[in-house]
Each structure stands twice: as C-alpha cells, then as structure tokens.
C-alpha cells in the first residue's frame, strides 16, 4: 500500500467562510461526503492520511462545511469532473 497524506492549509480557504469541517472526498471512499474527515493540526492545516493501492491515479476534492468544494493546488494533475469543475488527481507510488 502507498501511504498518502492530504493537506489543506486553512490559509488557502476564503476568509469569509467559518470552517467547521473539512472532508476528503474521492474515488478511494466512493465519493462519500463524510467518511474521511480531516483533522486541523497546530499549524493550521487540515490533514488526512490514507493507505491507497500503489500505481494508481485517484480523483479527489475537499468538501468544506458539507457544501463548499475546493481543489488541491499542488495535485499531480486535474481532470474535468463532469459537473463544471475539475477534480484533483493524486498518483500513488510503486511499492518497494
């Protein structure tokens, strides 16, 4: 398995939104809006670490407060979602 840490700095979110929750949503959790909550660390970054199958590309996005979608600005790639926005891509590494 490949260990992947997803991180969304609070500073990258619009200041006019009071952030109550951030969830990681993607192919790895069947796009479930609540199954992968992210935790806010002492540095002001929401984080979640997952074990994913190696040598795969997964689509994902961040969901803030259950209604605002955000992308990872440092994703490996982007792909149209079919809903007028792009999804982020994370490529997992080869197992050693």
pTM for this structure? 0.93
Number of domains in the chain: 1
23-59 residue pLDDT tens: 999 999 999 999 999 999 999 999 999 999 999 999 9
- Residue 96 covered by a domain: no
Contacts of 38 (CB under 8 A, 6+ apart): 6, 8, 22, 23, 24, 46, 47, 48, 62
Judge whether residue 95 has pLDDT over 80.
Answer: no
- Residue 15 covered by a domain: yes
- Residue 68 covered by a domain: yes
**CATH at residue 11:** 2.60.40.10
Judge whether residue 96 has pLDDT over 70.
Answer: no
- pLDDT value, residue 3: 94
- Structural domain range at position 13: 2-91
- Residue 52 covered by a domain: yes
Joined together, the tokens standing for residue 72 give: 């990872």
Mean pLDDT within 50-73? 96
């Amino acid at each position: 398995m490949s260990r992947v840490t997803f991180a969304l700095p609070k500073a990258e979110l619009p200041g006019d939104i009071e952030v109550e929750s951030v969830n990681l949503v993607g192919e790895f959790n069947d796009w479930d809006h609540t199954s992968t909550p992210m935790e806010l660390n002492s540095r002001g970054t929401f984080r979640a670490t997952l074990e994913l199958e190696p040598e795969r590309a997964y689509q994902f996005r961040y969901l803030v407060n259950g209604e605002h979608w955000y992308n990872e600005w440092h994703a490996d790639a982007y792909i149209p979602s079919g809903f007028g926005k792009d999804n982020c891509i994370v490529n997992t590494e080869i197992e050693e």
